[in-house]
Chain A
């Protein structure tokens, strides 16, 4: 009877109830979005790189080096000489190294010049190795390996030919169309920026830039010799050490390297400092979203409180029939709960739809992979909080109904 009464009472005031549900839906949607993206951004960033002990690049901010070398966000300030790379790559404490050369793109996706060690030693997530969905690693200078998302978005398959563009803009007028690359492999999905990158050999990068000066191709048809394809500079490199104990020692050596101003960073520690930098923004976003929700909840309480005036007779009838003041309290609370549940589920479904539409854009632009599971988890975490907040705020009209039931005469 309680549920039926609450439900039909809400239906009887459907316009104001719908507006209240809408107001709460928007606020829960905002809160849920902020939380989901915040959590997913952290998760995506954290699982992008694992098992790399040091990342080395030209001196710049620690966060900047991490962002451009791993997440392909931003632009490198300077390069690292091949000699310096060789010196540290052959250091006895180094187990493996991965050179990275950035600066080109393919239809908006970053091109990474590297060695086949990348496929062997790079780890993501919980130290998972890269695997090939189709094909294999590059072998020749003009071979390329692409991430799963590029294959999916652009419909590429193994043996397809692609042309790289000079620069990292999504639209480039300087294409390396004289040297098309052949796709030899497609990597399995990782949920990291790897999925949106094209990997070619360092020699391939050198070859397409042979005869280029200042970003422009020079006239002439000279063909490069093998020696010409030895890189002179790279953008950065990753190091895996034999023992983690040596990390700080090698970091100090690199930072104090006299031949060239270099900087070595610990990815985990740099990510931590990035989160610290962003935490105040996160807190602010969370605060704003929470205040929006609080405003909507107060709006709901107000709607219920205002309805008490028109429901005075209804409550009196219930009391006359023998329903206790506690029943009236429960009735108001149940109505508030139904409004909150309707708003929460509408917000959840709206968020699912929005994420379905925006998923590719978020992954492409920000490297944030939104999974259905993560939204469900956030929702299940948020739902009890919303319901408890709803209960607390609805105490005002519910207590009012209780007191009215307790003290008001049956004077209809």
Chain B
């Protein structure tokens, strides 16, 4: 780990309706160091997805700053924020990660399109990632819709990792998997994150997964006063 934080949020407030008195999220200070693996949990509607959208730069706070790798995300123009997300953030969702009518290779290319690396390097990297995530290379030419849920989630990791992002945002990716597949998936994911030296924010209802992570966060602590007592 280096001293430069991967995520630094200061005096941040977010509410869906600007006129609303009550903020959904209110974060006085929150910092995540590079290489940390953070497990975020909390009940439905507590603001987990909102936090991820703020970190991805899709939603903007009404107040405060969100810095990713020293870049103040909410002060970038829309164009620069989209470009930053493409280059520095990888995302994996609960379901519907892949575009069903595209092949696995094309789904991966959707992300590598923004990479500064050349085509042969990206091809080699996607093969390595496929191999590391125990995906058959032949799947590359298969439409995403023909893959099992577990395969789709692992392809989503390949796509998220192809540009070697500094931050990986993962939202309930194991909810559609059985317990064996779930543990295997989390192991593979964290192994890739470790190899890449990336930071991961992993959101889940399933508290049993918390043990895999270096740090846990109850999102409800952001709902009133901010994280004064991070777990």
Contact with B along A4-38 (1 / 0, CB 8 A): 11001101100000000000000000000000000
Contact with A along B59-90 (1 / 0, CB 8 A): 10000000000000000001100110111000
The reply to whether the CB of B111 lies closer than 8 angstroms to some CB of chain A is yes
Contact between A321 and B171, CB atoms less than 8 A apart: no
Which chain A residues numbered 312 to 358 have a C-beta less than 8 Å away from chain B?
Answer: 313-314, 316-324
Counting chain B CB atoms within 10 Å of each CB, the highest count among A317, A319, A323 belongs to A317
Q: Which of B58, B87, B98, B159 contacts A410 (CB 8 A)?
A: B58
Q: How many B residues have CB within 8 A of the partner chain? A: 33
Name the residue on A nearest B97 (C-beta).
A317
Q: Which of B87, B94, B100, B110 contacts A318 (CB 8 A)?
A: B110
| Interface-facing stretch out of B4-12, B101-109, B213-221 | B101-109
On chain B, the residues within 8 Å of A318 by CB distance are 99, 110
The reply to whether the CB of B225 lies closer than 8 angstroms to some CB of chain A is no
Contact between A1 and B53, CB atoms less than 8 A apart: no
The reply to whether the CB of A243 lies closer than 8 angstroms to some CB of chain B is no
Contact with B along A187-198 (1 / 0, CB 8 A): 000000000000
Contact between B58 and A319, CB atoms less than 8 A apart: yes
The reply to whether the CB of A409 lies closer than 8 angstroms to some CB of chain B is yes
On chain B, the residues within 8 Å of A324 by CB distance are 78-79, 82
On chain A, the residues within 8 Å of B109 by CB distance are 1
The reply to whether the CB of A412 lies closer than 8 angstroms to some CB of chain B is yes
Name the residue on A nearest B94 (C-beta).
A412
How distant is the Cα of A317 from the Cα of B79 in the complex, in angstroms?
17
On chain A, the residues within 8 Å of B113 by CB distance are 1
Counting chain B CB atoms within 10 Å of each CB, the highest count among A5, A8, A321, A410 belongs to A321
The reply to whether the CB of A280 lies closer than 8 angstroms to some CB of chain B is no
On chain B, the residues within 8 Å of A11 by CB distance are 101
How distant is the Cα of A409 from the Cα of B53 in the complex, in angstroms?
7
On chain A, the residues within 8 Å of B95 by CB distance are 313, 412
Which chain A residues numbered 369 to 412 have a C-beta less than 8 Å away from chain B?
Answer: 409-412
Q: Which of A9, A319, A321 contacts B101 (CB 8 A)?
A: A9
On chain B, the residues within 8 Å of A410 by CB distance are 49, 52-53, 56, 58, 91, 93, 171
Contact between A317 and B49, CB atoms less than 8 A apart: no
Which chain B residues numbered 138 to 180 have a C-beta less than 8 Å away from chain A?
Answer: 159, 171
Counting chain A CB atoms within 10 Å of each CB, the highest count among B83, B85, B87, B99 belongs to B99
Contact between A320 and B82, CB atoms less than 8 A apart: no
How distant is the Cα of A224 from the Cα of B93 in the complex, in angstroms?
103
On chain A, the residues within 8 Å of B97 by CB distance are 317, 412
CB distance from B190 to the nearest CB of A (A): 21
On chain A, the residues within 8 Å of B52 by CB distance are 410
How distant is the Cα of A412 from the Cα of B176 in the complex, in angstroms?
13
Contact between A321 and B86, CB atoms less than 8 A apart: yes
CB distance from A184 to the nearest CB of B (A): 70
On chain B, the residues within 8 Å of A321 by CB distance are 85-86, 91, 110-111, 114, 159
How distant is the Cα of A4 from the Cα of B98 in the complex, in angstroms?
15
Name the residue on B nearest A13 (C-beta).
B101
CB distance from B194 to the nearest CB of A (A): 23
Contact between B101 and A317, CB atoms less than 8 A apart: no
On chain B, the residues within 8 Å of A411 by CB distance are 49, 53
CB distance from A407 to the nearest CB of B (A): 9
Contact with B along A293-311 (1 / 0, CB 8 A): 0000000000000000000
Name the residue on B nearest A314 (C-beta).
B99
Contact between B93 and A322, CB atoms less than 8 A apart: no
Contact between A320 and B91, CB atoms less than 8 A apart: yes
On chain B, the residues within 8 Å of A8 by CB distance are 101-102, 106
CB distance from A136 to the nearest CB of B (A): 70
Name the residue on A nearest B56 (C-beta).
A410
Contact between A409 and B102, CB atoms less than 8 A apart: no
Counting chain B CB atoms within 10 Å of each CB, the highest count among A1, A4, A320, A324 belongs to A320
On chain A, the residues within 8 Å of B85 by CB distance are 320-322
How distant is the Cα of A320 from the Cα of B57 in the complex, in angstroms?
9
Name the residue on A nearest B54 (C-beta).
A409
Contact between B58 and A409, CB atoms less than 8 A apart: yes
Name the residue on B nearest A412 (C-beta).
B93
Contact between B106 and A4, CB atoms less than 8 A apart: yes
On chain B, the residues within 8 Å of A412 by CB distance are 93-97, 171
On chain A, the residues within 8 Å of B78 by CB distance are 324
Which chain A residues numbered 112 to 144 have a C-beta less than 8 Å away from chain B?
Answer: none
Contact between A320 and B93, CB atoms less than 8 A apart: yes
Q: Which of A4, A12, A322 contacts B100 (CB 8 A)?
A: A12
How distant is the Cα of A313 from the Cα of B144 in the complex, in angstroms?
14
CB distance from B163 to the nearest CB of A (A): 9
How distant is the Cα of A317 from the Cα of B92 in the complex, in angstroms?
9
On chain A, the residues within 8 Å of B58 by CB distance are 319-320, 409-410
28 A-B interface contacts by CB (under 8 A): A1-B110, A5-B99, A5-B110, A9-B101, A12-B101, A313-B95, A317-B93, A317-B96, A318-B99, A319-B58, A320-B56, A320-B58, A320-B85, A321-B85, A321-B110, A321-B111, A322-B86, A323-B82, A323-B110, A324-B78, A324-B82, A409-B58, A409-B59, A410-B49, A411-B49, A412-B94, A412-B96, A412-B97
Given A5-B102, A321-B91, 7 more contacts at CB 8 Å?
A: A12-B100, A316-B96, A317-B96, A319-B58, A321-B114, A410-B49, A412-B97
Residues of A within 8 A of B (CB): 1, 4-5, 8-9, 11-12, 313-314, 316-324, 409-412
Residues of B within 8 A of A (CB): 49-50, 52-53, 56, 58-59, 78-79, 82-83, 85-87, 91, 93-102, 106, 109-111, 113-114, 159, 171
The 5 closest A-B pairs by CB, nearest first: A322-B86, A12-B101, A313-B96, A412-B93, A320-B91
